[in-house]
Amino acid sequence: MYKSAITLALSLLIIGCNGSDPAVIEPVEPTPTPQPILDHSGLAPIAIDVIDKSEYLSGGDSTVFVKNENAFSRKPEAIIADFQLDGFFTQGDHLFRTPDDGIGPILSTGSCQGCHLNDGRGVVPQSPTTPMTSMLVKLANGKGEADPMYGDQIQPFSVDGFISGNTLADGFSIHDGSVSGVESLGEAFPYVEFEIITGSYPDGTRYELRKPTYKIRDLSYGEFMADVRFSARIAPQAFGVGLLGAIPEKNLLALVDVDDSNGDGISGRASMVKDVFADDSADKVIGRFAYKAQNPTVLQQVAGAYLGDMGVSTSVFSNEPCTEQQTACLLAAESENKTAKEPDLSDLSLALVEFYNRVLAVPARRGYDDASDTWTEEVTAGRKLFIEANCSGCHTPRHITGDAKGSELGELSLGGLTANTEENYAMSIAVLSNQTIYPYTDLLLHDMGGTCALTRETETGLSCTTGAECLYVQRCEGLADGVAQGDASGTEWKTPALWGLGLVQTVNKDSSFLHDGRARTIEEAVLWHGGEAKDSKDTFMHYSKAEREQLLAFLKSL
């Protein structure tokens, strides 16, 4: 299906290019004027010099005009104006912020907002002894296999750390503490240490980057599998995802260029994943969410986060985050079940959180004056430099959305959900449908380069093989994490959306950039780019200081 979709997309493109396929289009008159080349959305490509007025409204009708610390927490006007939708949003917001009473037995945090701070990004712990509370560590080997004991994610805490009156430390892991199968503890304590590395631009300007080393100590259930790799990830900003979910799949597949046939050094692969709601489980759809595009829908992403990050079961993922081998965790899960067999979170609650997350609005661009329809000079210049450096080769500026269909769980009402039927499917979300949006992503996987190496060593750096003092230590060059997930290899990442970039540190001043938050500034994030993005980064580095500032000003205006 994947290949045929590409073929279809390609043939569509061809039609779009010459417009002369007689089987499809009847030529009206023999005109020598060639049809304009259309982009993946079927629109005239965006111009390098002329900024379309609509660019200011990054989220189309889902754009809001807030630029303070609440910029990522807003609902579109169309939602406010509809009392019913307003009510669903309000309830979803409440659930997003509130820990469910079914959290645990092991978890990374207690509520959605616990990681998506202020609906924005998480933060990197300030010291090696501070636990990760708004970022997490994924586990897999280079083949994408999860650890047989620990699963695909480290849950650093047991629910004891989240009980009122206790402190987080009550839920910490202890070396071999859960091995006997009695005490359910957090799984392990991951932490990060940074080394400052330096470099310079061709014009001699120096810069500093923080290079992370990831270390894991206090493994409660014994050792990891031999070829384990760790992928530390900061919670991303949560808004705009309903729009990304509504981009027609064929438009995204039209951007795929696996063999780099256009020779721009950028390939771009779709992460094809299983949609848990698909009728035929063999069918795969394009993944859009999470850092390696593992999840195809907001609902699947949300349910996955409830399971993996909070230990809350749903009808989508009815298990708890314990693996079959984690006896202590399983026993604790058994006693957690307050009402037998029912998931911790009801479908109604899950659908409310899904709705909330889907319609969380996108902040409007800054640097634009609506009255005079003008952009600041530096933003205009920076945009041009961004396109000329082919940053837009992956950070695709514009998409259009199709029909943002209603929830797979059914039609929302205050009383409950009305299940979908063939004739009566949940109503589409109008404010997300048929919009022109500017997320600056192709949602495809790109090889960003780098390599990783894992060692066992003590805190002081001595080599070791086993024991409480023997840490797992992962050092990587570049952006690689060594973890394969689905179609994505250990050097591949999904292009993240750039909208709202300039407000990230307004919403949360301690936020930082890239998948693991290593970049303290947007400039540092650009400088970490490698692999398919190396040419673009080199172009950036060769820009003059003034030009680099213009490009960064453009990014900050997003």
Partner 1 sequence: MKFSSFSKVSAALLVALSLTACVEDGDDGVAGVAGANGVAGTSGVSTFVTRDDVIKTNANIAYAAYSDALISAQDLKVALELFTATPTQANFDLAKKAWLDSREPYGQTEVYRFRQGPIDELKADGTLGTDDAGEGPEGLINAWPLGEAIIDYVEPVDGLSGPETPANAITDNIIANTADYPTIDATTLENLFEHGEDGRNVTTGYHAIEFLLWGQDLNQDLSGAGTRDNTAGQRPVTDYSSTVGACTSGSNAATDDICQRRGQYLVTTAELLIEQLKRVTEQWEPGSGDHYQNFVAGGDVSLAKILEGMGRLSFGELAGERINIALIENSQEDEHSCFSDNTHRDIFLNAKGVQNSFNAKYVRIDGEVIEGASLYDLLVVEEQHELANKLRGSLEATMSAAAVIDTKAKTGMPFDVLIQEGINQPNIKAVINALVTQTDDIEAVITALGVTTNDLRDDTEQEI
Which residues contact partner 1 by CB under 8 A?
56, 65-70, 73-74, 77-78, 80-81, 83-84, 86-91, 94-95, 97-101, 103, 109-111, 113-115, 117-118, 123, 130, 133-134, 159, 161-168, 346, 348-349, 364-366, 368-371, 414-415, 508
Nearer to partner 1, 18 or 167 (CB): 167
Nearer to partner 1, 109 or 536 (CB): 109
The upper half-sphere exposure of residue 357, i.e. CA atoms within 13 Å in the direction of its Cβ, equals 28
Could you tell me the smallest distance in angstroms from the CB atom of residue 116 to partner 1? 9
Could you tell me the smallest distance in angstroms from the CB atom of residue 104 to partner 1? 8
Helix-strand-coil percent breakdown of the chain, rounded to 5? 30, 15, 55
User: CA torsion, points 552, 520, 481, 449, in degrees to nearest 10?
Assistant: 30
Nearer to partner 1, 66 or 331 (CB): 66
Q: Which residue in this structure is represented by tokens 């035929």?
A: 280
**How many whole angstroms separate alpha carbon 348 and alpha carbon 63?**
27
Residue of 487, 489, 396, 497 whose CA lies nearest to 2? 487
Read off φ and ψ for residue 232, nearest 5 degrees: -85, 135
The two three-digit tokens of residue 162, written as one number: 């989240």
Could you tell me the smallest distance in angstroms from the CB atom of residue 239 to partner 1? 15
**How many whole angstroms separate alpha carbon 436 and alpha carbon 56?**
11
Could you tell me the smallest distance in angstroms from the CB atom of residue 370 to partner 1? 6
The two three-digit tokens of residue 320, written as one number: 């708890």
Nearer to partner 1, 109 or 237 (CB): 109
- The strand pair at 106-107 and 399-400 is best described as unpaired
Nearer to partner 1, 19 or 87 (CB): 87
First-to-last alpha carbon distance for the chain, in angstroms, is 35
Nearer to partner 1, 89 or 317 (CB): 89
Could you tell me the smallest distance in angstroms from the CB atom of residue 130 to partner 1? 8
**How many whole angstroms separate alpha carbon 493 and alpha carbon 389?**
20
Could you tell me the smallest distance in angstroms from the CB atom of residue 12 to partner 1? 35
The two three-digit tokens of residue 466, written as one number: 């086993």
DSSP state of 1: -
Nearer to partner 1, 65 or 194 (CB): 65
**How many whole angstroms separate alpha carbon 179 and alpha carbon 53?**
61
Which whole-number Å values give the CA distances from 459 to 187, 456, 470, in the listed order? 19, 10, 8
Could you tell me the smallest distance in angstroms from the CB atom of residue 45 to partner 1? 26
DSSP state of 295: B
Go through the chain and tell me how many residues it has: 558
Nearer to partner 1, 89 or 540 (CB): 89
Could you tell me the smallest distance in angstroms from the CB atom of residue 357 to partner 1? 16
Residue 388 CA, distance from chain mean position:
26
Nearer to partner 1, 401 or 506 (CB): 506
DSSP alpha helix (H) spans, 146-248: 241-245
Could you tell me the smallest distance in angstroms from the CB atom of residue 180 to partner 1? 24
